[in-house]
Structures are given as structure tokens and as C-alpha cells.
Amino acid sequence: KAGVTQTPRYLIKTRGQQVTLSCSPISGHRSVSWYQQTPGQGLQFLFEYFSETQRNKGNFPGRFSGRQFSNSRSEMNVSTLELGDSALYLCASSPGDRGGVKNIQYFGAGTRLSVL
Amino acid sequence: DQQVKQNSPSLSVQEGRISILNCDYTNSMFDYFLWYKKYPAEGPTFLISISSIKDKNEDGRFTVFLNKSAKHLSLHIVPSQPGDSAVYFCAAFTSGTYKYIFGTGTRLKVLA
């Protein structure tokens, strides 16, 4: 079974631009979550999509948005990039409809975004 | 409001000794706790989990202990190996909301 695939792996943008990141979940998984990792801040939860609907949301500004397609693939968009948006963006997939250990999240390798 | 806290940003341990990583939480609604390990340039990988109705779960060299009254869990690695050097994240999960909350991570360095 293929794992979680994130593209691109690396991205360099300038302030004010917008960016779209992509995530393909494990086959059969209907939940995709997005996280931002910065040094000292751990994994900050952005949002979670389940069956094309946003089910959970973190405390990020509206510049961060996402969507999920009918095949469970997900995209995350950041508009009007700021220097502080430089981070590793991780996506994780899970079945999304099971309890406890049956709903373990599996992560992709991440997209490293650098904003200059 | 950090609901899951890992108060030690880093830890160094000699090879062969025990590594103990700690995690505290504030929300009594969490019903599963998990540990993930992360190497540089890779995504976190699941290591071990424990249900809130248990107090211990063991898998090979890894054991997780849960103290519900103290809202504290710990990961024990015995014996520690250089390949265990990584960042370890504690996570809490609520089945009702399907939401995960991660801690800030502890960087473990196992010295050969």
C-alpha cells in the first residue's frame, strides 16, 4: 500500500505570493489533516477534512485554507505569504471514522516552504 | 492554550541506558494517547499508543505509562540505541471529535 504523498517537497516563494500544497492520502483513508511544524512550536494543527468537508479547524488566520476532493486528495492554500509562514507543512491521513488506535494518523514527508 | 505539553525540549542518554520522555495534558476528554518519532527530512511515524482505560502498554523496547490522575504519560525506551535519536512527539486523540493534539516534541540524542 502506498503511503501518504506530498508534493512538492520543497518550495521557495516571496512575500505576498500565494502557494498551493498537495497531499494524496493512503488508499481508503477519508481523513486528511494538515500541520505546520516550526522550531520550538511542535506540530500546529491547521485543519482536517473528512469526506470533502472541513471537520476540524485550528487557530490559523483565514489566509490558510484547504479543500478535499472526492478521491480524498487534499490541497492546502496559503495566500499573501508572510516571512513567518516559512515552515515544514505536513499532511496526515487516517480512516477518519474509527475510534482510538484504529484511527492512527500516517504522515507524509512534508513540504518545506521558504518565504523570502 | 497548549493542551498537550512536553516540557523537555531535549534529552541526552548513553547507549544501553533507559530513555524517559514525558508528556502532560490538561483535557480529561482525551481517550487515546500516542507517541510518534520523527527523523529529519521525514514525516513523523507512529510508535506506540495507549488507551485512557489502560495504565501501561509495551511493545518491544518501548513502553508507555499513563497516570490519569496526574494527567501524565511517559515513554520508556530500554535499552536506548543510537538509532533512537530523533524528535519524539506525544499526541492526544478524542474519538468523539476525531481531533489530534500534538505536543511540542522532545529531541532525544542517544550517545554511543
B-chain CB neighbours of A10 within 8 Å are none
Q: What is the pLDDT of residues A58-115, one digit of tens each?
A: 999 999 999 999 999 999 999 999 999 999 999 999 988 877 677 899 999 999 999 9
Q: What is the pLDDT of residues A22-45, one digit of tens each?
A: 999 999 999 999 999 987 778 999
CA-based max dimension of chain B: 44
Gap between the Cα atoms of A81 and B40, Å rounded: 25
Distances from the Cα of B45 to the Cα of A109, A115, B2, B41, B64, angstroms? 10, 27, 22, 12, 16
Contact B31/A at CB under 8 A = yes
Gap between the Cα atoms of B73 and B68, Å rounded: 8
Gap between the Cα atoms of B19 and B109, Å rounded: 9
Say whether B44 and A33 touch across the interface (CB within 8 A). Answer: no
pLDDT at residue B105 is higher than 70: yes
Contact B51/A at CB under 8 A = yes
Say whether B102 and A45 touch across the interface (CB within 8 A). Answer: yes
What pLDDT does residue A13 have?
Answer: 97
Gap between the Cα atoms of A102 and B7, Å rounded: 28
What pLDDT does residue A97 have?
Answer: 81
Q: What is the pLDDT of residues B46-99, one digit of tens each?
A: 999 999 999 999 999 999 999 999 999 999 999 999 999 999 999 999 888 888
Q: How far is the alpha carbon of B111 from chain A, nearest alpha carbon, in Å?
A: 23
B-chain CB neighbours of A42 within 8 Å are 6, 89, 102-105
| DSSP-derived secondary structure letter, B79 | S
Mean pLDDT, rounded, for A6-28: 97
Q: Does A95 sit behind a cis peptide bond, omega within 30 degrees of 0 on the bond before it?
A: no
What pLDDT does residue A114 have?
Answer: 96
Closest CA to A48 of B49, B98, B93: B98
What pLDDT does residue B1 have?
Answer: 62
Q: Is residue A35 a contact partner of residue A90, using CB atoms and an 8 Å limit?
A: yes
Kindly report the number of other CB atoms within 10 A of residue A21's CB atom: 22
Say whether B98 and A50 touch across the interface (CB within 8 A). Answer: yes
Strands B10-14 and B106-111: parallel
- Coil, helix or strand for B25? strand
Gap between the Cα atoms of B66 and B62, Å rounded: 13
| DSSP-derived secondary structure letter, B81 | -
A-chain CB neighbours of B41 within 8 Å are 109
Contact B88/A at CB under 8 A = no
pLDDT at residue A1 is higher than 70: no
pLDDT at residue B9 is higher than 70: yes
Q: Is residue B71 a contact partner of residue B28, using CB atoms and an 8 Å limit?
A: yes
C-alpha grid cell, residue B8: 523537555
Q: What share of chain A is helix, strand, coil (3-state, %, to 5)?
A: 5, 50, 40
